[in-house]
Amino acid sequence: MTPDFLNTIEVILNGLMAGVMYSLVALGFVLIFKASGIFNYAQGVMALFAALTLVGFQTGQIPFAHLVNEIFGTQIHHWGPGMNNLIAILLTILVMVLFAWLVEKLVLKHLVNQEPIILFMATIGLAFFMEGVGDLMWGADLKTLDVGIPSGGSFWWEDVTRTWVSEGYEYYGMYIDLLDVWAAGIAVLLVTVLTLFSQYTKTGRALRAVADDHQAALTVGISLRSIWVIVWSIAGIVALVAGIMWGSKSGVQFSLSLIALKALPVLILGGFTSIPGAIVGGLIIGVGEKLFEFSIGPLVGGATENWFAYVLALFFLMFRPQGLFGERIIERV
């Protein structure tokens, strides 16, 4: 195999890995959309918030320390040396559940029966609000997040692939980040758990019932409001997973919330209601944008990743508005 060919394979592989990361975020969107018809723009900020909280717990930060110092002139910052990873993760999950409950109580409850686009705009407001809260609570500086997931290039893979090149060429092997491989594994695990949960538990069945038909679910005695709390909690946990992966990769700070923007075209491709769609959509976008940047990027000045996903989604919308896995919409009068 020629180095060019191998390079292309490397780009595709890295695209797949990046795609998995997009899928992780898109998954949170799909869960909430299926259960409540809400397009939750705040999903990305939820990932940021979860990651910030996790780091805060890990390192023993005092919440709102900056704000308190500013108002009262005190000098507090940490309450102790921090805590064990597992406890920190469990506490963060608790915080995300509490957050879900608050969102339902303070926002969603008052917006029942509003048009989807109003709810969408409300979640944009929620995103801004949470970003402010998160930064005030834990500070806006760039933080490193390490929960013990291995990272860095895999030497084994480099050595293996180095031997694939045809004779007479010089080739140094492929680079693949261990963190990405772990992320892919965790994503697969997460999807499996979610599928099992929705198939085999009572709550899961209730979730699917609500997703099918709000009214009908209500008449058989499912409480819509507790379902919403559960779904937002699960989305919060998915956000935490995404936050951990993205945070470990590139640190925890504001830009983390922008992955939400990357997940939007993934949803358009995959359809808003399909979990497999979110996965496949993420992979297509991941591979597509990496390949495009690799082959066309140099000709047009690079940085095409900024827009490629959106333009791809745009073209896709023109031909198949319901997404790859979505159902065809028949309009009725």
Partner 1 sequence: MFYRESGDFKTSYIQDQQIFPILQDRMFVAVVAAFAFLVVPFLINDYWEKSVLLPVLIWSLAAIGLNILTGYCGQVSLGTGGFMAVGAYASYKFTTAFPELNLFIVVLLSGGVTAMVGILFGLPSLRIKGFYLAVATLASQFFLVWLFNKVPWFYNYSASGQINAPERLIAGIAVTGPNAPPWATYLFCLTFVVVFALIAKNLTRGRFGRSWMAIRDMDIAAEIIGVAPLKAKLSAFSISSFYIGIAGALFFLVYLGAVEPTEAFGIDKSFLVLFMIIIGGLGSILGSFIGAAFMFLMPVLIKNILVNGLGWSPDIVAHLILMIVGGLIMFFLIVEPHGLAQLWRVAKEKLRLWPFPH
Question: Which residues here bind partner 1, judged by CB under 8 A?
Answer: 39, 66-67, 70, 107, 110-111, 114, 116-118, 120-122, 124-133, 135-136, 140, 261, 264-265, 267-268, 300-304, 306-307, 310-311, 313-314, 317-318, 321, 331, 333
Nearer to partner 1, 17 or 108 (CB): 108
| Count of other CB atoms within 10 angstroms of residue 210 | 23
Classify 15 as helix, strand or coil.
helix
Nearer to partner 1, 86 or 333 (CB): 333
Closest contact distance (angstroms) between CB of 175 and partner 1 is: 26
Four-point Cα dihedral 47, 88, 178, 268, nearest 10: -20
Between CA 44 and CA 126 the distance in angstroms is 11
Closest contact distance (angstroms) between CB of 303 and partner 1 is: 6
Angle, CA of 9, 12 and 13, to the nearest 5°: 85
Nearer to partner 1, 86 or 318 (CB): 318
Nearer to partner 1, 160 or 314 (CB): 314
Closest contact distance (angstroms) between CB of 207 and partner 1 is: 22
Nearer to partner 1, 216 or 303 (CB): 303
Closest contact distance (angstroms) between CB of 132 and partner 1 is: 3
Closest contact distance (angstroms) between CB of 288 and partner 1 is: 14
Closest contact distance (angstroms) between CB of 134 and partner 1 is: 8
Helices (runs of H) and strands (runs of E) counted in the chain: 14, 0
Element (H, E) at 190: helix 178-200
Helix, strand, coil distribution of the chain in percent, nearest 5: 70, 0, 25
Nearer to partner 1, 76 or 261 (CB): 261
Nearer to partner 1, 159 or 327 (CB): 327
Give the list of residues 6+ apart from residue 147 with CB closer than 8 angstroms, or none. Answer: 54, 58, 85, 89, 244, 248
The beta-carbon contacts of 254-259 under 8 Å, at least 24 apart in sequence, are 254/48, 254/131, 254/135, 254/140, 256/44, 256/47, 256/48, 256/51, 257/44, 257/45, 257/47, 257/48, 257/127, 257/131, 258/44, 259/21, 259/22, 259/25, 259/44, 259/47
Per-residue burial over 273-307, b if 16 or more Cβ lie within 10 Å, else e, is bbbebbbbbbbbbbbbbbbbbbeebeeeeeebbee
Closest contact distance (angstroms) between CB of 36 and partner 1 is: 14
Closest contact distance (angstroms) between CB of 309 and partner 1 is: 9
Nearer to partner 1, 193 or 303 (CB): 303
Between CA 278 and CA 268 the distance in angstroms is 9
Closest contact distance (angstroms) between CB of 258 and partner 1 is: 9
Classify 153 as helix, strand or coil.
strand
Nearer to partner 1, 202 or 328 (CB): 328
Residue type, 202: K
Q: What is the DSSP letter of 61?
A: B
